[in-house]
Amino acid sequence: MSDDVVKQANCGACESEACSAKSKRPSETDEQFEARQAVQRRMCRIKHKVLVLSGKGGVGKSTVAVNMAMALALAGQRVGLLDVDVHGPSVPKMLGIEGSPIQTEDDALLPVEVDGVKVMSIGLLLPEGDEAIIWRGPMKMGVIQQFLKDVAWGDLDFLVIDSPPGTGDEPLSACQLIENADGAVVVTTPQEVSVADVRRCVNFCRRLNLPVLGVIENMSGFVCPHCGQETQIFKSGGGVSMAADMGAPFLGKIPLDPQVADACDAGNTYIQQYADSPAAVAMLEAVRPILEMEAAADAGKAQPAPAGNSTKRIAIPVADGKLAMHFGHCEQFAFFDVDLEGRTVVSKTTAVPPAHEPGVLPRWLSEQGAHVIISGGMGSRAQGLFADQDIDVIVGARSGTPEAVVQAYLDDTLETGANICDH
């Protein structure tokens, strides 16, 4: 190792002795080690890195990524949006920044800022917007690495990475270069041909140990802007079923709206221009669990839990938006991280459980970190399986919204009756 590399063994971005940039890997050259440290210096200043993936093209992945980034910014977060779709960079068009000049400062590229979102895309570096990029894998990995190490992102709460469809070079490179990414949001449409590709995308994430933060079903039905009636053009529910089968969280359904295309073509952000539309409301709801990652992080810093146990995670089985009267018949689970001393909810997330078979849900809920499950009814055998997983069970709760049930639990006013399915 050269003297210069030895001097840089501490990249200066953090004090963590566990940081992978502290030492050179056995297979690395000095040049590779220096490049990896440069990436880490940038990435260490970004709290959350979220990749937006899809199994195939045409599902609205970039639209979701753009609106997700803007939704996070509107919620007061510091946000960056990186478009690594080398062959089809559509983000500049969607944000109306095509042809915007890229400035440099201290040998770093300065991202273009749009309504508080810092944006970088290969589309901003091309001399002609319709120029074809004919690159092989190593060149594509090189430009993605350059975006990560040479763009002056600064301090961010979120970096949203819009990856190209499929499981090829670009998403693979992004996953390999961004160490400790929070995970991926996977976008699909309801049709089986799309859902099948997304299954492969979920398996791709798991092969790379990249958490799947959730699945979004885009173009899920058409809501008439005049009468409000919903029509199933492509059918609906494929994403929900796939998420359940794969044991991945389901973030929501976004209906078709012709105004989405109008907004993208005009370079306007849909959720800003049509904030009250059903699709915009659905987009904001889908982003909520991502936003809650930062809320949970901030709450954890502000109110560290005493050892032993001021915080718990409560699982609520939900059907039709209310507490499911039998935990095994629910559509999804709502998870509440609560502060028992302050009697407050710190954060909430939702997830679609795997297919219900004996013994599956207790093990799955344990993996989700649940300490308590509240249900209308539960069989005695299932209660025993939960006990084996050190999860407390409360049965006989009355139906209500998950939020109301959890608050009643915190206030010691939760009313319980007979176990409706004790068998």
Domains and CATH numbers, the chain: 1-41 (no CATH), 45-298 (3.40.50.300), 305-410 (3.30.420.130)
Higher pLDDT, 118 or 233: 118
Higher pLDDT, 1 or 163: 163
Span 288-307, pLDDT tens digits: 888 887 766 554 443 333 33
Which stretch of DSSP H or E encloses residue 73? helix 61-74
Query: CA-CA distance, 280 to 266, in Å (whole number)?
Result: 17
Query: CA-CA distance, 289 to 332, in Å (whole number)?
Result: 14
Q: How far is CA 71 from CA 80, 158, 222, 351, in A?
A: 12, 11, 22, 21
Closest CA to 90 of 151, 189, 162, 170: 162
Query: Given a cut of 50, is residue 229 above it in pLDDT?
Result: yes
Query: Given a cut of 80, is residue 64 above it in pLDDT?
Result: yes
Residues facing 319 on adjacent strands = 322
Position 222, amino acid: F
HSE value, Cβ hemisphere, 13 Å, CA-based, for 227: 3
Query: Given a cut of 60, is residue 402 above it in pLDDT?
Result: yes
Joined tokens for residue 285 = 């709801």
Query: Given a cut of 70, is residue 96 above it in pLDDT?
Result: yes
Q: How far is CA 423 from CA 251, 325, 345, 365, 378, in A?
A: 33, 14, 33, 21, 8
Residue 16 pLDDT class (50, 70, 90 cuts):
low
At residue 81, the pLDDT reads 95
Query: Given a cut of 50, is residue 7 above it in pLDDT?
Result: no
Query: CA-CA distance, 196 to 173, in Å (whole number)?
Result: 23
Joined tokens for residue 144 = 């993605």
Per mean pLDDT, which range of 21-35, 202-216, 227-241 is the poorest? 227-241
Query: Given a cut of 90, is residue 161 above it in pLDDT?
Result: yes
| Cβ–Cβ < 8 Å for 294, 77 | yes
At residue 134, the pLDDT reads 47
